[in-house]
Structures are given as C-alpha cells and as structure tokens.
Structure 1
Amino acid sequence: MEHLFNIDLNLWQFLIFMVVGVLTGIINTIAGSGSLITLPIFIFMCGLSPSVANATNRIGVFLQSLVATTTYAKSKPEIFKDSLWLIIPSVLGAILGSKIAVDLDEKTMNYTIGGLMVFMLLILLFKPDKWLITDKDISKNQNKTIGSFIVFFLIGIYGGFLQAGVGFFLLAGLVLVSKYSLTQSNGLKLALVLAFTAPALALFIFYGKVHFGYGILMGVFQAIGAWIGVKYISKIPNANLWIYRLLIVIVAASALKFFL
C-alpha cells in the first residue's frame, strides 16, 4: 500500500505536472476533456499502468468538480434546480461503468484508452458544439423523461468506465435530450461529473487501483485551475477557441503515442 503514495518526479517533471494540473482544471471547467491530457501524463510520465491511471485520474476530477460546482452555485444556483432526475441515473451508471473498468485487463485498457484518444480527436475536429443550442432557454420541465433517464444512465456508465471526454456526451444529452440551453448545460455538467465521480472513485479505492500520491497532487493543482477557470478564464473572449486548439494537438500526440 505504501507504494501508492510514493511520488517520483524530478524538478522539470514536477513543473510539467503542476502546469498540466492547473491547465486541465481550467479546461474541464470551461470546456471539458482535460482528462485526455492527464491520462497520458499519469501513464507516460508517472509510469502508472492504464487501469491505475484511469482510477487515479478521478481524484483530480472530483476535487476540481467540487470547487467548480460550489463556486458556480454561488452565482447561478437556479441552474441546479430539478437536477436530481439526471444525477440519479448518472450515479447508477457510473457504479456499473467503474466496475467494468476494474475487471478489465491492462492490455485491453491500454488499447481502449488509445482508441478513445482517436475517437475524441475526431469529435474535436468535427466541433459538435456547433449543433448545440446556445442562448435560448427552452428547459421548461422537459428534462424529466424516461429518455433522459436512460441517456444519462448510459453516459454515467461511460463516465465511470473512462471519464475522459464525458463532457461532450453530457452537453449533448443535456441540450439535445433534456432540452437545456448550452449556458445551463455547462453548469449542470459540473454537478453531474461531481455526483458520478464520487462513487466511481470510492469503488476504485476499494479495489486498490488509486495512486494517492500522484492523484492528490494533481487534484490540488486541478482544483486551483478550476477556481481560476470559473472566476476569471471563463470571462475571457475566445478562451474556448484556444483551449480547443490545444486539445487537438495534445490528443493527437497522445493517440499516436498509445499505438507506437
């Protein structure tokens, strides 16, 4: 158990780790898919196995989501009204998804994450946000449907299984299925990730898959990034555009690395 707390980083690696943590905290708060950056860092720089990296990544996701959701709720608490209908199926799905991840062998997990990188690169290139409703508020109790329950249960399974890129699916589900505006969806996305990450992280800890040293260190930096993202970066014009470009470069490089 002691090795799950050991941190072996030189000065330059620590600085990269810190920058990545803060940056992905910002990215996950105002855009999403920061896990597409942290997963390769855990695997290729920290030397964690794919399954342990996948589990360890949840500490940072949980901490940054906690900071971002509480900060967001102070300014726009009305956004989270009636969100329990979406949270419950997401949590149930995440428990199932994380159990699948625990049982998967290392080789399969490695190829799964590599395949995910390619898939998410294609999603990034096709800019799915272009077909999402942006400003019009059309959420008038339309979210409480069986369709929404099923969709968010499935998204929860994916979130519990891999997490990386789940923000895209949450936004699509919230806008296209549950009929929220994109503005509302960005806030609700944070709460949903927080809700279904908690049981997934608990299950990974139970099965001894989490490296607490790297996970907590990354989580602290991501929480700082999340606070910066909500308070400042989200107000900067074209911030999403630069994050989008950065994600394409990093995800493309990571996908290539997984299959070499």
Structure 2
Amino acid sequence: MDLFLECLLLIPVGFLAGFINTVAGGGTLFTLPALIFMGLPAPVANGTNRIAIFVQTVTAVRGFKSQGASMYPFSLYLGVSALLGSLIGAKLAINVDDVLFNRILAGIMLTMLVFMLFNKQTDFKNLQPKLTGAPLYKAIVIFFFLGIYGGFINAGIGFFMLLILPYVNGLSLLQSNVTKVFVVAIYTIGAIVIFALENKINYRLAFILTIGNALGAWFSSRWSVKKDDKVIRIFMMVTILALSIKLWFF
C-alpha cells in the first residue's frame, strides 16, 4: 500500500480514535483493526498503535491543561501504578498468536458493544472528589490491574476508567477524563519500551496514525461534547459490530 492510501485510511481513523479516546474511550477498537487490515501482524499492530496513543494522550493532557483542567498529583499516583502493570501486559501481548489475539480483540469489541447498549449514564452532578486515604489506595491497586490490561491491548480501557473513577474517587466526567488521559500517557511509555525492544513497531505507519490521533485529541480536549451523543454512539456500535465479525471469522 502506497503512502497516499496509508494516509487516506489512517489519518481519518486516527482522528476518530483520538477524539473518542479523549471524551470517553474505545478509539483502539478502530485503530487496531485498521492496522491489522493493512497487513500488520497483531503484535506489530498493537505496538504501532501505542506510539499514536502516547502522542494523542500527551496532546490531550496539554489541551486540558490549557483550559485549566488538571488532576495532578492524583493522576500521577495512578499513572505510576498502571505503568508497572503495563510492563506485564505488553510482555504477554507479544507472545500471543495472531488468530487468538484477533479473537480476543473481537470479544472485547463485542463486550464494549453490549456495554454501550445497556449502560446507564452516570449522574456526575452530585459527586465529591475523594483523592486521599482509602479511596486513593483502592484506586492505585485497581489501576495496577488496569495497567496490565492496558499494556496487553488497551482497547476500551477508557470506558473502564470512566466507570471506576466516579464510583471509587467521586470524580466528575471532566475530572475523570483528565485523569484518564494522563494515566494512559504514563503507562503507554512502558508498553512502548517493551514493544520497541521486541521490534514490534512499524514506525512509518505509527507516524501517519499519530497525526490523526493528535488532531482528534487536541480538538476533543478543547471542545464541549455531550456524552450521550446518539449519532456517535450509533456509528460506534455499527462499526464495532462489523469489525468484530471481521476479526473473528476472517
């Protein structure tokens, strides 16, 4: 596939992923299948995607900060915990067979589809932040295991974080999103190191995908988006269903 076609496919997919990842989660459900569709083995697609995720999340952190939104140092504590977990998860991902990886991804995508269909919207209006003591320690432990999952595949991890942070730490939607992108930026460093040492990154495609991811993250981090946007939800559900069927059977 020539450079023009690679850009034509990956930059729009990256933009969509960066936008969705920043306001909620699930962008990897689009970028991983796209990279696999372009012929990359599953571990290489997984590693390549991490470069874009890192730049996207750093861009989102900067975008949020430019609007006065920060959860430091709370997000740093969770990020370091997730970083340790990501080293384990990334190592596991490298040794997974391509067919098994594709089916795991398909299963995760279908799980996210069910979640999107039946999830009740969280009421973020009456929450009180709990950033110290037992809630903090509980979150640190939980985010270590989230880091393992993030290091392994990362797909849909934003959904999990947006479920956990309001209930465990009483964070609003904005605070949860700010924390989420910072944590992902930190633990993705560990995943990149593991994939790079194993030569599982296609840097050319990573660069192209990164352009789209960064643009999407910058735009969404500076734009007020309604979480219950029906058009985006329907589009995501249809696309996720189609891609999961493709990954499972082909």
Contact conserved, 2:43 with 2:94, CA < 8 A, in 1? Answer: yes
User: Normalised by the size of structure 2, how large is the TM-score?
Assistant: 0.91
Q: Deviations over 1:65-87 (max 9, x none)?
A: 01110111122244334323212
Instruction: Flag the 1:89–1:10 CA change in 2: closer, same or farther, 3 A.
Output: closer
Tell me the SS of whatever aligns to 1:79: coil
**C-alpha distance in structure 1 between counterparts of 2:11 and 2:74, whole Å:** 36
Contact conserved, 1:133 with 1:182, CA < 8 A, in 2? Answer: no
- Name the residue aligned to 1:254: 243
Contact conserved, 1:68 with 1:227, CA < 8 A, in 2? Answer: yes
Instruction: Flag the 1:243–1:178 CA change in 2: closer, same or farther, 3 A.
Output: same
Contact conserved, 1:152 with 1:173, CA < 8 A, in 2? Answer: no
Tell me the SS of whatever aligns to 1:189: helix
Instruction: Flag the 1:31–1:210 CA change in 2: closer, same or farther, 3 A.
Output: same
Instruction: Flag the 1:237–1:258 CA change in 2: closer, same or farther, 3 A.
Output: closer
- Kindly report which structure 2 residues correspond to 1:80-91, keeping only aligned pairs within 5 A, or say none: 80-91=72-83
Q: Deviations over 1:11-42 (max 9, x none)?
A: 45532322112222111111211110111110
- Kindly report which structure 2 residues correspond to 1:1-260, keeping only aligned pairs within 5 A, or say none: 8-9=1-2, 11-12=4-5, 14-44=7-37, 46-127=38-119, 130=121, 132-142=122-132, 144-231=135-222, 234-236=223-225, 240-260=229-249
How far does residue 114 in structure 1 lie from its aligned partner after superposition?
A: 1.8
Tell me the SS of whatever aligns to 1:80: coil
User: Normalised by the size of structure 1, how large is the TM-score?
Assistant: 0.88
Tell me the SS of whatever aligns to 1:83: helix
Contact conserved, 2:6 with 2:205, CA < 8 A, in 1? Answer: no
Tell me the SS of whatever aligns to 1:42: helix
- Structure 1 runs, 4 residues or longer, greater than 4 Å off: 10-13, 236-239
Contact conserved, 1:23 with 1:225, CA < 8 A, in 2? Answer: yes
**C-alpha distance in structure 2 between counterparts of 1:236 and 1:200, whole Å:** 29
**C-alpha distance in structure 2 between counterparts of 1:161 and 1:77, whole Å:** 29
Tell me the SS of whatever aligns to 1:235: coil
How far does residue 149 in structure 1 lie from its aligned partner after superposition?
A: 1.8
Give the unaligned 5+ runs of structure 2: none
Contact conserved, 2:130 with 2:136, CA < 8 A, in 1? Answer: no
**C-alpha distance in structure 1 between counterparts of 2:76 and 2:218, whole Å:** 24
**C-alpha distance in structure 1 between counterparts of 2:43 and 2:90, whole Å:** 11
How far does residue 257 in structure 1 lie from its aligned partner after superposition?
A: 0.5
Aligned CA RMSD, in angstroms, stands at 2.0
